[in-house]
Amino acid sequence: MLLLLLAACGPLTDHYGAPANPDDHGEVVFTVPGGASARSLAPKLAEAGLVSSADDYVMWLRLSEAGACIKAGRHKLRPDMSASDLTAGLCGAPLPEDIPFTIVEGWRIKEIDEALTKNGWIKAGEYAALAAQPERFKAPYPLPSGTLEGYLFPETYMVIPDKWDTAAFIQRQLDQLNQRFYTPNEAEIGASKRSFAELVIMASMLEREEPKPSQRPMVAGILWKRIDSSWNLGVDATSRYTLDQWNDRKAFLKKLRDPNDPYNSRLRPGLPPTPIGNPSVPSLEAALRPTESEYWYYLHDSSGTIHPGRTVEEHEAYRAKYNVY
């Protein structure tokens, strides 16, 4: 009788442990809460389509005496896994909790907020609202008032979505700006005739004005020279800053004609009132260490190549040659 029962166990475990869907090879990230047992997970596994029946999976566990080694955390599983393979996956090392989140160089607070909202980590506007309260945060450099635009360092951050904390993330960004730029250059920044706020504003324009980091020191030299000579900067990117969509050409052309727009650097003197995005280290370094040159003007042709000009006549000749207006 015992021999017959043992012989029956093989077919029974095969029956109860069959894959939920042998043809579905898609990966599912399944989270095991702390303290859970394989049996308690059966309904959730069935709901996720990873086992065909919670009762069948529980029966397989009883027959096979498996499942004692379940580990809390996230696991990659597939519907084509047998109960044996699926349980082995649950007993394996869980996936790392943190995942990468990239803030693109030059992004505004607006774009960061939209990316976080799209990921489902915040409600729309939550990040922007906190970034409008610099007094809540700490840094070894002077923080601006009103907005942290420009100080929210662009980087790929490893984050844990289930433990997301917007205020803590903003503090991480401020800390990164300190570690990557401020502290290594503190003495030079202190000796500069530009304030830290002015350097950050200039760097944010360079990020948008010159795609090649190697050319940014020259552009910085031109723009600082214009500032020092009481010229209007004429940086069109500043007029895009308040647009809902950066590349909305119709709205941009309207902004270029608006003398009341505080970010219109064609018609208004000096630096814009705030940075126009969050700059990278190469842009910050270029703002701090501009290259002096004989140039006062520059433009980019359709391939993105810069053409600096010494005089307005030379600049206009480049405009005509490369059809840039």
- Sorted by where each starts, the structural domains of the chain and their CATH numbers stand as 2-91 (3.30.1490), 99-184 (no CATH), 192-322 (no CATH)
Instruction: Tell me the angle at which helices 54-64 and 38-47 cross, rounded to the nearest 10 degrees.
Output: 150
pLDDT at position 17: 87
pLDDT at position 162: 86
Output the CA–CA distances (angstroms, integers) from residue 220 to 39, 47, 107, 232, in the order listed. Answer: 65, 58, 20, 14
Ordered alpha helix ranges (H), the chain: 2-16, 38-47, 54-64, 83-91, 109-118, 126-131, 166-177, 186-191, 196-209, 216-228, 249-256, 281-288, 312-322
pLDDT at position 95: 86
C-beta separation of 206 from 175 below 8 A = no
Please write the tens of the pLDDT for every residue from 137-194.
999 999 999 999 999 999 999 999 989 999 999 999 999 999 999 999 999 999 999 9
Within 8 A by CB and 6+ apart from 194, the residues are 202, 224, 287, 288
The amino acid at 90: L
Dist CA 301 CA 295 (whole Å): 17
pLDDT at position 10: 61
pLDDT at position 5: 36
Instruction: Report the chain's mean pLDDT, rounded to a whole number.
Output: 93
Which pLDDT band holds residue 8 (cuts at 50, 70, 90)? Answer: very low
DSSP string over 180-218 = IIIGGGHHHHHHSSS-HHHHHHHHHHHHHH-SSGGGHHH
C-beta separation of 100 from 158 below 8 A = yes
Compare 81 and 13 and report the one with higher pLDDT: 81
Which pLDDT band holds residue 34 (cuts at 50, 70, 90)? Answer: confident
Please write the tens of the pLDDT for every residue from 274-322.
999 999 999 999 999 999 999 999 999 998 899 999 999 999 999 999 9
Within 8 A by CB and 6+ apart from 31, the residues are 73, 74, 75
pLDDT at position 7: 42
Only one residue has tokens 């020259």, namely 218
Please write the tens of the pLDDT for every residue from 92-147.
998 888 899 999 999 999 999 999 999 999 999 999 999 999 999 999 999 999 99
- Is pLDDT above 80 for 12? no
- Is pLDDT above 90 for 217? yes
- Is pLDDT above 60 for 38? yes
Please write the tens of the pLDDT for every residue from 45-63.
999 999 999 999 999 998 8
pLDDT at position 145: 95
Query: Which phi and psi angles does 182 have, rounded to 5°?
Result: -65, -55
